[in-house]
Amino acid sequence: MTNPPDPTPVLDLLTAFRTSAVTFASCSLGVFDQLSAAPASLTALAGRLGADSDALRRLLDACVGLGLLTRDGDVYANTPTAQAYLSRTSPRRLTGYLTYSDRVLWPMWAHLDDAVREGGHRWKQTFDLDGPLFANVFRTEDDKREFLQGMHGFGLLSSPHVVAAFDLSAYRHLVDLGGATGHLAVAACRRYTQLRATVFDLPGVMPQARESIAAEADVAGRVEVKAGDFFIDALPPADLYAVGRIIHDWAEEKIDRLLSAIHAALPAGGALLIAEKLIAPGRDGPRWAQLQSLNMLVCAEGKERTLDEYEGLLKRAGFARVEGRVTASPLDAILAHKGP
């Protein structure tokens, strides 16, 4: 009798959602925030969090098993990873994105099968909204601020890799369209001393963008912010534009309009830098990009693409040459050149 195949991959998938739930619940309860200043005992944490002691112990021990906490007897402490990314005291925190994933993406992913059947996002089915109307999802200004800060933390992981993927020393002015808190503009100016940059985003983002950029004293003088909508307003002049986690959001009609507008605004010899995760040519990975493409199906209009697919979009908009680089970060880099 032939031995059956190893069931471990299926068993791991069977329980994968539980690890997300542990992380979401720990963030929601404030576990990592309570431990950000100093370790604490189970009794002290239960009192501070208003939690059942036995139930909390199970949650904390699960966090130990996931490498998020350490335990010495009944005293728990954040690991460096949790301290950096899961505590609201950290400038690198991803907590806003985790909260968004918990409150918004998790319920919509419950309808993934319907999204696959119908080929569209789940906002109406889940929240009775026609699309990602963030004003309705982010119930307070603090919700919006924490989401932007979570995306900022994500950008700190990826932007230094994206701006290092190509030699950008020939360019003088970068405009980051939808640049949010300015992490890519800051990383670019830090790497290329000849560069100045403009962060171009919606008016509601401007206060947090100014605050984040002002904290980067070594390059703040070379990064400005300008309010606008890149689908409606004239683009600020630049010889290098950037779009990070933008193209994957939209249907092709909107992408074509945006890319054509960027191409028209660029001078001869200018370029567009795109930060997205590339699907491998054989569409067999990487897993992050495959899952993110399904996330776009569930919550947006777009998808992740191969380099060849990006090249098709970009050449259709008039770009002459397209290069791609896979990085060691959550985002890869694409550079599209306007001809002479």
Quick check: 1 pLDDT over 80? Answer: no
Pick the more confident residue, 60 or 140. 60
| Whether 184 and 227 share a structural domain | yes
pLDDT digits (tens, 9 = 90+) for 184-204: 999 999 999 999 999 999 999
Q: Count of domains in the chain?
A: 3
Could you tell me if residue 106 is inside a domain? yes
We report the CATH number of the domain holding residue 16 as 1.10.10.10
Q: What residues contact residue 209 under an 8 Å CB cut-off, 6+ apart?
A: 179, 180, 181, 182, 199, 201, 225
Vertex 9 angle, CA 6 and 12, to 5° = 125
Regarding whether 312 and 173 lie in a shared domain, the answer is: yes
Q: Note whether 130 and 159 are same-domain residues.
A: no
Q: Which domain holds residue 216?
A: 141-337
Kindly list the distances between the CA atom of residue 35 and the CA atoms of 73, 104, 285, in Å, as whole numbers in the listed order.
Answer: 16, 26, 37
> pLDDT by residue (tens digit) across 28-61?
999 999 999 999 999 999 999 999 999 999 999 9
Q: Which of 252, 232, 239 lies closest to 296, judged by CA? A: 252
Residue 3 lies in a domain: no
203 falls within a domain: yes
What sign has the CA pseudo-torsion 289, 126, 123, 105? Answer: negative
* 3-state SS assignment for residue 321: strand
Q: What is the CATH number of the domain that holds 162?
A: 3.40.50.150
218 and 152 in a single domain? The answer is: yes
Residue 2, pLDDT score: 84
Residue 113 and residue 260 share a domain: no
| 64 domain residue, yes or no | yes
Do residues 302 and 278 share a domain? yes
Structural domain contains residue 94:
no
Are residues 159 and 106 part of one domain?
no
- Residues assigned a catalytic role: 248
Neighbours of 311 (CB within 10 A): 18
CA nearest neighbour of 220 among 186, 191, 193, 194: 186
pLDDT for the residue 135: 55
Domain boundary among 77, 109, 137: 137
**pLDDT band at 138; cut points 50, 70, 90:** low
pTM exceeds 0.75: yes
The overall average pLDDT reported for the chain is: 95
Is 262 a member of any domain?
yes
Distance CA 339, CA 89 (A): 47
Phi-psi region of 117 (alpha: psi -120 to 50; beta: other; left: phi over 0): alpha
- Do 132 and 71 have their domain in common? no
Residues 264 and 295 reside in one and the same domain = yes
Domain-located, residue 316:
yes
132 has a pLDDT exceeding 90: no
- My answer on whether 73 and 116 are in the same domain is no
Residues 76, 172, single domain; the answer is no
In-domain check, residue 93:
no
Co-location of 129 and 146 in the same domain: no
Q: What pLDDT is recorded for position 139? A: 67
| pLDDT (average), residues 133-160 | 82
